[in-house]
Structure 1
Amino acid sequence: MNDFNDFNNPQVAKLPRHLQQFIVEQRYERYTPVDQAVWRYVMRQNYSYLKHVAYYPYIKGLQRAGLSIEHIPDLQTMNDNLGKIGWGAVTVDGFIPPAAFMEYQAYRVLVIAADIRQINHIEYTPAPDIIHESAGHAPIIADTDYNNYLSYFGSIGAKAMFSSKDFELYEAIRHLSILKEAPDAPAQEIARAEKQLELISENMGEPSEMALLGRLHWWTVEYGLIGTLENPKIYGAGLLSSIGESSSCMKPEVEKLWYNMDTVNYAYDITKPQPQLFVTETFQNLIDVLEAFADTMAFRRGGSEGIVKAIECKNPATAVYSSGLQVTGIFTDMGLDQQDELTFLRTSGPSALAYEGRQLEGHGKFYHKDGFSSPVGKLKGIDRAIEDMDILMLINCGIRPNHIAVLEFESGITVKGLVTIIHQHKDGRTFMITLEDCTVKESNGNILFQPDWGVYDMAVGQKIVSVFNGAADKDAYEEPTHVSDKQTHKIVYDEKTAKLHQIYKQVRSIREKELGFEELPALFDALKKNHRDDWLSALEILEILHHRGLYPELEKEIRVYLELKSSAEPEHTKLINDGLHVIENPVLQLITEED
């Protein structure tokens, strides 16, 4: 993205190129008057109910994040406000890959879906939307303990290894969520997408690190409760942005369990209400559980276990030698000794070498275009690892420039060739040796490298200390991070819908400007005659009449109209009744009480 807009926000400005590729413009002008009414309805319902069950003062949190009950948030305003607490925000198109989502969190940037749910999904949407992302996640960002957990989770999650099946699952979930949020998607196509998701879900095999971390993320960041089992409060964004589930989740039939390491064993279904929820006593407990899980991950354990995960991933991953050298590529092979310790590793296709996250000059994926392989371990009969040898010890082992070296490893692998360069860090530690006319073979005679393959860059390191997802230097490697080719639907509105939008726009204008009340009877008449499916605009007209004490007969007529709709249309019963409740118990009054 050449025209990258950082919104004058320091956190957004720090985003690397491989994350910038997911960002889309918010296009605020695309939000229709109905969209704005949906935002306002959900936010007023949220506040009316969440005042009693949310963990933190909801309105204060909204204000600190640059959000209001009245209008869909503008990204610049959000960034101006979030910047004051060390966070930022960007808009994306629906679901993005989990690894990228995590990395945004690590950079302390909220990822916000630019779209907003349709009115027929007002209680819950299967797709990410601006209500969920901003009204759910943003208000609690002001809590220091929580936002530290969120960014720390991101830094751990960005390193998590995923399986090749995880991306299949991601694409299936994204595809289904887009279909369900599209107004014209055929039922047959939705059913086919549901079947495909079910098929993939049932054949995932052992869950990957990313899948397990996804569970911890779901049961905390999205659906977390805090406090006691008997009287928990909501802090999870999925609950805070779902006016249906934020209410139903508190019922006794939704089991409440303590949040601990065992939570990782509970899978979730993104399309259904959750059968159980997890309660943490403190946000510190979330960090403690995350720490315990991180200790099981390849980026901390390394070794053969980590390389196995990298091979299964079938996507670029990085292995870190104990010398600090980082090898990025698609891992395809490894050698093991009798103790299951690594003896060598191999990548295929474009590979790169780096140190401390910076690609080494001349060792990018075009130079190592056919892959990379190297031994792992110590030299036979020598206690000290090569990376820890000083110059004198290297010479004693036959390692010096312009001399033939014969290096026999404990594993039985032998490297023989002309040493041309000994690569060392500033602290004197050796991390790579370049040889020409080089042969590398195992004790059984199996050839790992031969002279006509070119120059041999031998990685130095007694062991692999870390294995993590993606490239060490993502921008230099230009990692082909997967941007889905399935875009969310952009709706084109017919003439009748455009007229309904105009009614919504006029009602909002009358309410905000406190002018034109005499137009309300005609607007309701147009609703009755031409838009019988609509219920929300009628509620908004009733709200104005009730609070202003205008046209009592019309107020009564609209109230009867809505009550009849409520009883005749089960899908609208709760929505209408909740709307009537908020009219009788105004949000502004509740805000004043909180303040």
Structure 2
Amino acid sequence: MSHFNDFNNAQVAKLPNHLKQFIVAQNYEKYTPIDQAVWRYVMRQNYSYLKNVAYYPYIKGLQRAGLSIEYIPDLQTMNDNLGKIGWGAVTVDGFIPPAAFMEYQAYRVLVIAADIRQINHIEYTPAPDIIHESAGHAPIIADTDYNNYLSYFGSIGAKAMFSANDFELYEAIRKLSILKEASDADDAQIAKAERELKFISENMGEPSEMALLGRLHWWTVEYGLIGTLENPKIYGAGLLSSIGESASCMQKEVKKLWYTIDTINYQYDITKTQPQLFVTPTFQNLIDVLESFADTMAFRRGGTESIMKAIACKNIATAVYSSGLQISGVFTDVGVDANDELTFIKTTGPSALALNGKQLKNHGKDYHADGFSSPVGRLKNSLKPLEDYNDNELKAAGIELNKQVLLVFESGISIDALTQKILKTDDKVILITFTNCTVSESNGNILFKPEWGNYDMAVGAKIVSVFNGAADKEAFEIIAPISIEKTHKVVYDDKTIKLHELYKQVRAVRETNMGFEKLSNIFGQLKTQYRQDWLCALELLELVFHKKIFHQLEKEILVYLEIKAGKEPEHTKLILDGLHVIKNPVSQLIGD
């Protein structure tokens, strides 16, 4: 990753390779003049409306995050500003896997989709875009309590177990969102992708930890309200970046409930407006609810149910023995006694052993290429767990280098072998390597034969934690499967390129305060050649209205837009909202 651009930002520089792989260049020059106008329109709408309903720091927060109303933000400027509050930002291609998204948050890096919504999805986009990510998430990052919640959520989310179904669901959502945003999408393809998504989401089974955390994330980070039930303020990015829903969500029809641990029982549908929203009295309450959910998760509970979650996940997970030894791999089997206690665990395929997140020398996935299996529990008639034995106690149990020993566990599993190596760390025995080894269950079933080579036995009375992913991700190099579905790139025809040119001219007049005589000619071209466009005409009206010039032209444009608003239902609200902001200028809100 020698070409990696860290934007001179400390948080971005710290990102590990398995997260860097998702980063794409922003390519600022690809944004067209229409894209810039879409950004400006949405931001002015947000300002005009949000000053009354957004949680206080929204407007100041925008400036602290390096965002302006006038331009799509440039990543370097954002990083320069976010760096001052201990955060960073990178651009990615659309949806990335939930676990990776969470881990970025834990590293205090905002993930921003590099693309911007098309003008025909200006109110709401099915795909993540730069308006949502930067105008929604970035402004509130300056609030310390909130940004602590966000990074803490990330560190817990990164450990969450997901199910094999979750991954299918993520791929189906990503595919559909890309199709919906593509300019050349075919309705039959979209309908097929919608059917696939519906089928997967209706057959999800028990929600996984990641699915439940996803709900908490949705009802807070994306759709959260703060304050009182009667008069809440918006802090969720999904609401802050949707001009449609930020207005409708305050109406009586949308129920307001207190945000508690029970919120995990509310599913959500990303394609519809929300029937209810949750209000938190403080950001600290968000951390408290998250904390009580984390107490139910496998990484804190361990035991049989947590290994079962790992088996259901069908992806790499890590189990931690009470000795501290960490086993990473795809878990496929487990032994359980009459009291539901674990007797052994087993992975299949490349596996690795680690301690405190660092891989043990010579115990990487090449050495354990065919999986790993070990007993869990105590030796029969022992006074303490094997991991706590001192040298004398090991000797008394017959565990001495180069001596044959017979070990029998409480579970009935027995090991008859020659002790070759004893690995201790911090006064804990964590791993014993045997040769000439036979491992069998009490019913005589053979688990390991001498001719299979050395047998590495993990030591630990219990499995105390199970979490998603490998313990040492850099060594394990699970460069996650990057989705093959890439966001479609747009190619513009000559007519559209000419329209871009008109938008560019309008911006130049506004920014230089010169060339007003061109406006009438631009309007002439819009009227005759670009009847479907409404935004450029609004920008023309804004200029002549505020300069109090060309009254005749002002009247013509206004009539043109009013007729358009009456005739084109899909543009009615957009045009009326645009007229409202022209008559109630934004500049007074931010005091330029």
Output one character per residue of 1:394-415: Cα deviation in whole Å (capped at 9) or x when no partner: 1111112111121111111111
Q: Which amino acid aligns with 2:336?
A: L
SS in 2 for 1:267: coil
Contact 2:45-2:243 at 8 Å conserved across structures: yes
Q: Give the TM-score of the pair, scaled to structure 2.
A: 0.99
1:59-138 to 2 correspondences below 5 Å: 59-138=59-138
Q: Does 1:428 align with 2:436?
A: no
Q: Which amino acid aligns with 1:301?
A: R
* 1:69, distance to aligned residue in structure 2 (A): 0.6
Q: Which amino acid aligns with 1:526?
A: Q
Structure 1 partner of 2:202: 202
Q: Which amino acid aligns with 2:100?
A: A
Alignment partners' CA distance in 2, 1:447 and 1:71:
68
* 1:169, distance to aligned residue in structure 2 (A): 0.3
1:240-251 to 2 correspondences below 5 Å: 240-251=240-251
1:441-452 to 2 correspondences below 5 Å: 441-452=440-451
Alignment partners' CA distance in 2, 1:400 and 1:576:
83
Contact 1:51-1:57 at 8 Å conserved across structures: no
Output one character per residue of 1:98-153: Cα deviation in whole Å (capped at 9) or x when no partner: 00000000000000000000000000001000000000000000000000000000
Q: Does 1:532 align with 2:531?
A: yes
Structure 1 partner of 2:408: 408
* 1:59, distance to aligned residue in structure 2 (A): 1.9
* 1:280, distance to aligned residue in structure 2 (A): 0.5
Structure 1 partner of 2:263: 263
* 1:489, distance to aligned residue in structure 2 (A): 1.0
Q: Which amino acid aligns with 2:268?
A: Y
Aligned-pair identity in percent equals 74
Alignment partners' CA distance in 1, 2:405 and 2:15:
45
SS in 1 for 2:279: strand
Q: Which amino acid aligns with 2:59?
A: I
Q: Which amino acid aligns with 1:502?
A: E
* 1:189, distance to aligned residue in structure 2 (A): 1.1
Q: Which amino acid aligns with 1:321?
A: Y
SS in 1 for 2:211: helix
Q: Give the TM-score of the pair, scaled to structure 1.
A: 0.99
Alignment partners' CA distance in 2, 1:383 and 1:260:
44
Output one character per residue of 1:227-263: Cα deviation in whole Å (capped at 9) or x when no partner: 1111110000000000000001111111111111110
Structure 1 partner of 2:559: 560
1:418-497 to 2 correspondences below 5 Å: 418-425=418-425, 427-497=426-496
Structure 2 partner of 1:290: 290
Contact 2:398-2:405 at 8 Å conserved across structures: yes
Alignment partners' CA distance in 2, 1:215 and 1:57:
25
Contact 2:21-2:479 at 8 Å conserved across structures: no
* 1:347, distance to aligned residue in structure 2 (A): 0.2
* 1:481, distance to aligned residue in structure 2 (A): 1.2
* 1:480, distance to aligned residue in structure 2 (A): 3.8
Q: Which amino acid aligns with 1:7?
A: F
Output one character per residue of 1:71-99: Cα deviation in whole Å (capped at 9) or x when no partner: 00000110111010010000000000000
SS in 2 for 1:244: helix
Structure 2 partner of 1:542: 541
Structure 1: any 5+ residue segments left out of the alignment?
none
Output one character per residue of 1:443-476: Cα deviation in whole Å (capped at 9) or x when no partner: 0111111111111110000100000001001111
Alignment partners' CA distance in 2, 1:539 and 1:500:
14
Contact 1:169-1:201 at 8 Å conserved across structures: yes
Structure 1 partner of 2:506: 507
* 1:307, distance to aligned residue in structure 2 (A): 0.5
In the superposition, relative to structure 1, how do residues 34 and 492 fare at CA in structure 2: closer, same or farther (>3 Å)? same
SS in 2 for 1:85: coil
Q: Which amino acid aligns with 1:362?
A: N
Alignment partners' CA distance in 1, 2:85 and 2:162:
32
Output the aligned Cα RMSD: 0.8
* 1:590, distance to aligned residue in structure 2 (A): 1.3
Contact 2:431-2:458 at 8 Å conserved across structures: yes
Alignment partners' CA distance in 1, 2:123 and 2:332:
46
Q: Which amino acid aligns with 2:410?
A: E
Alignment partners' CA distance in 2, 1:351 and 1:540:
60
* 1:188, distance to aligned residue in structure 2 (A): 1.3
Structure 2 partner of 1:355: 355
Structure 2 partner of 1:140: 140
* 1:56, distance to aligned residue in structure 2 (A): 2.0
Alignment partners' CA distance in 2, 1:266 and 1:64:
34
* 1:2, distance to aligned residue in structure 2 (A): 3.5
Q: Which amino acid aligns with 1:349?
A: G
* 1:39, distance to aligned residue in structure 2 (A): 0.4
Contact 2:57-2:143 at 8 Å conserved across structures: no
Structure 1 partner of 2:235: 235
* 1:428, distance to aligned residue in structure 2 (A): 2.0
SS in 1 for 2:84: helix
Structure 2 partner of 1:37: 37
Q: Which amino acid aligns with 2:263?
A: T
